[in-house]
Structure formats: C-alpha cells, structure tokens
Structure 1
C-alpha cells in the first residue's frame, strides 16, 4: 500500500468548501497514510484547468500513484478537463447538488462563489478587507493594529498561525492577527507587553516537536532552526509562558486548521 499520497483541493473560487469537505474525508486515513496537501483555488478558465491537468499527470508519474483531487467545479468544460487527467477526481458538488435539485424540483444556478458571498458587492468588499487585515498583520508585522483584531494568534514559528488566521478571515469573516515568538522572546522568557495588553484576544497554538521538526526541515533543511532539539525547547518554553498567563492553547498536531478555526470562531461569537 502507498503510504504517501498527494492531495489537491481545487475550486473555481476560494477552495474553502473543497478543503473542508475533502480534509474531513482523508482525516479518516491519516493514521496510516501521509498526505501532502496542495491548494489550487481560482481555477476558473480552460487554460488554467489544462495546466493543472498536466500537473496531475506529472505528479502521478513522479509519485507512482495518481493524486487525489477534491474539487468544487461548477463549469462543465473545466471539470471534464480535470477528470480526464491521471487522477482520482472527486467532484464534491456532484454528491450533493443532484439529490438537492431533485428534492427541490428546480435546477441549480451554476454560478460560482455563491457559498462565500463572492458575488455580493458589499459582502465581498468587507471580506477582502478582513483577508487583507490578516495578511498585513501576519508574523507580527504590525504591532500597532492589535486593537482592531478580533483574535491574535501566538505560537512558535511554523505552528499553524498564518493558515489559521487566513481561514478565520475567509471562512468566518474574523479579523485575525498573529505573532511568532522570537529568539528574543525566548531569551527573555517573556511574552511582549504589546500582546499582553490584549490578553483577552490571545489564542496560543502549540504543536508536537517532532512534527514541527519535519515542517521546519522542509523550509530550512539541516538548519539549527529546524533541529528537533530547538523545536522541543521552543515548544516547551512557549507552553510555560502560555500557562503562566492563562492563555487558551490549541494543539495543531491533533486538530486540523478547520477544527481549530471553528473552535476559535465559536468562542469569539459567544463573548
């Protein structure tokens, strides 16, 4: 049995639906198979679909196993192009749209982006502002905007802060900023005051050191930054700081980005 497989999440729009449903399915197999996820949103032209289909063929040849593709493609032509490539193509809309259409007695609109308000002018502009906030306030880039944030993610480098912030922005419309604990923070054994004055907005992410080691190795192979010793030390020290200030901690090792984001969104809305 192949123990490593490549998984694509493909959509004509943001890809959130494909990712959410697809990941829920493959999570049932993650104990025995390691999945490499690739996100391909906005595949909304025939040219893009053909280019992606070629990529599927190349991956199948490279891996010795065809990629698994979770897709939400409304346009028939782009869907056919992807289906004909060397992949396991799972069209998520097919599973739900047909029985819904039969039950309701009407045909679906066939328009893209409806599930995320992409065609609603005001909602679209608001959502873009929120997404831009997450990007501008990524990795502690702007310490002076935390008063505008709904939540501030804190954790060691590569613990999942950025994708969680973007998911919160795109899926829940939540203004999310994030701050990576730095070598200076660890040396001083202290969370910066600029964060602690917004303690009610802080949510900490932690991660299993061996998993963090693997993630960092992909970014900086063989570096001291990626070493298991440093990963273990940083995670341990970070947890001590979080406990000292009674900051809510979520583990990205055992919970997906979707699960972590949903829990954060629920907590924010219940304030």
Structure 2
C-alpha cells in the first residue's frame, strides 16, 4: 500500500441534504494521506439530476485516469442502481448499519426520502433550523450584532481562523443560532471586549490557529499583503489569545481540526445540546 499523499475527486451524493455523507466521508478520509477534491450533490431525486451527476463522475475519471470516490445515501432503487453504473468506487454510508439493525430487530426497513420525511415528521424543527441558518448568515463576520441576545453561542477570533464555516455548520447541522465576530485593528489596539459582549460572556467562545497555517490561508486570499504576513498573523494571534486568557474565554486551536471536530468540541465545552433534525 502506498503512503504517499494522493489527490482524488470525492463526491458526496444523497437524495437528502448530503450532510450525513459529508460527515462520514470526512471522518473516513481523515485517516488517509489524501488530498480530496470534494463535490456535494444533495437532493438527487430525478433522472435529470442523476444524469448530470453521472456526467461529472465520468469527466472526473476521464481527466484524472483514476476512479473518484463516491459516498452516497440513496433510497430510491432506480436512482441507486443507475448511480452504481458510473465508473467510481462507491460507499453506501448507511447500508452496513441498516443491515445490522435489520438483523438485530428481525424487522424489514421502510426507507423514506430524507427531505420529505424530515419536513413531514416535524415541520416546526425544520423551520427552526432554517431560522437558525438565516440568523447565522445575518450575523456572519461581524456584519450585525442586532438581536445578539438570541444567539446560542458567539464565536470570536482573528480573521480566517475558521469562524464562518464553523458557524454555518453548527446552524445547518444542529439548528444553533451563531454570531461570529472577527477582531479588527481597533479591537486589537484596545484589547478589550465590546460592551455588547460583556453581558453575554457565558456565550463567548474563542477560535485560534497556528500562525503559519493562518499565513497560508491569508496568502491564498491576499498574496503578498501585510494582512497575510507571518509577523502580522503572529501579532494578532498573540493579542487575541492574551485577551481570551485574561477574560477567561474558553478557546480552541483549529489548525488541525475539521469543521465537524471544531463544532463538536465547542458544543462539549460550552455545554450546548445538539438539536438533531
């Protein structure tokens, strides 16, 4: 078996949101030295959508010469059978567990479309999650601090430390309302919390990151700028981490963690309950 790092196209496919496929795929692929070029295809419920998906899988194989990896969850038999005709390695993320539960319960499963089942079963929960996503988007990157009292958690950190993807994941996956705020130059010079945050201290959580990793991320966005310089990154991180320690704000380093791991650790340390949908 080769140990060198490889690059491979990875498809997450579902007749629902594909969140489960992404989560399991990330956990599994995280155990291999692999550079994954990821693409997500939710709500594959029609032949038209399936045809476009199979076309993209074929293009991936033709261009790279290697079979892409497909993590999927499809309950429509016809769609599933056609999908499996594509040139790829396929991994049904639920089949093994479903078959084991079937055996243990001595009961036949009755698959349902994830989207229809979710909405019909509990529409209140569904719309709660949509509201959480809308709230989180409206409070992304310090755009607004209005209605901050409605937030379940407030993420603080320097620019590009992982606040936005973590916020959106927590909203989409767990229905949490998240405010995220990047420390700007004025904040770093004053090195104190905004008054709006003082009365919500119990909701504050910090994200930090290794300086070298932050430099790499910022270089991809603004190459050669002072914003991306190693010295600037080190200065910002030192200031913010000092603030976290002084104000007793819990924080974690996101450098080597996936968004799923970051979210789970925040929930655990903040004592928040997952709202599953």
Q: Does 1:28 align with 2:31?
A: yes
Asked if 2 retains the 8 angstrom alpha-carbon contact of 1:150 and 1:268, the reply is no
Sort the Cα spacing of 1:71 and 1:136 in 2 relative to 1 into closer, same or farther, 3 A: same
Quick one: which of 136, 153, 156 aligns to 1:154?
156
CA distance in 2 between counterparts of 1:38 and 1:218 reads 20
Q: Does 1:238 align with 2:226?
A: no
Q: Does 1:199 align with 2:201?
A: yes
Quick one: which of 177, 180, 183 aligns to 1:178?
180
Instruction: Write the deviation string for residues 33-64 of structure 1: whole angstroms up to 9, x where unpaired.
Output: 33343333333332222222222333344445
SS at match of 1:117: helix
Partner in structure 2 of residue 103 of structure 1: 104
CA distance in 2 between counterparts of 1:156 and 1:115 reads 40
Shift of 1:111: 1.1
Instruction: Write the deviation string for residues 123-152 of structure 1: whole angstroms up to 9, x where unpaired.
Output: 211221122211121111221221110101
CA distance in 2 between counterparts of 1:116 and 1:163 reads 27
CA distance in 2 between counterparts of 1:227 and 1:6 reads 32
Asked if 2 retains the 8 angstrom alpha-carbon contact of 1:159 and 1:205, the reply is yes
Asked if 1 retains the 8 angstrom alpha-carbon contact of 2:16 and 2:115, the reply is no
Paired residues, number: 268
Sort the Cα spacing of 1:263 and 1:173 in 2 relative to 1 into closer, same or farther, 3 A: same
Structure 1 gaps of 5+ residues are: none
Shift of 1:115: 11
Asked if 1 retains the 8 angstrom alpha-carbon contact of 2:141 and 2:181, the reply is yes
Asked if 1 retains the 8 angstrom alpha-carbon contact of 2:136 and 2:171, the reply is yes
Q: TM-score, normalised by structure 2?
A: 0.84
CA distance in 1 between counterparts of 2:9 and 2:39 reads 7
Q: Which moved more, 1:201-210 or 1:43-52?
A: 43-52
Shift of 1:169: 2.0
Quick one: which of 7, 10, 35 aligns to 1:7?
10
Bigger radius of gyration among the two: 2
Asked if 2 retains the 8 angstrom alpha-carbon contact of 1:50 and 1:81, the reply is no
Structure 2 counterparts to residues 86-235 of structure 1, below 5 A: 86-113=87-114, 117-119=118-120, 120-235=122-237
CA distance in 2 between counterparts of 1:36 and 1:231 reads 27
Structure 2 gaps of 5+ residues are: none
CA distance in 2 between counterparts of 1:16 and 1:143 reads 28
Q: Does 1:19 align with 2:31?
A: no
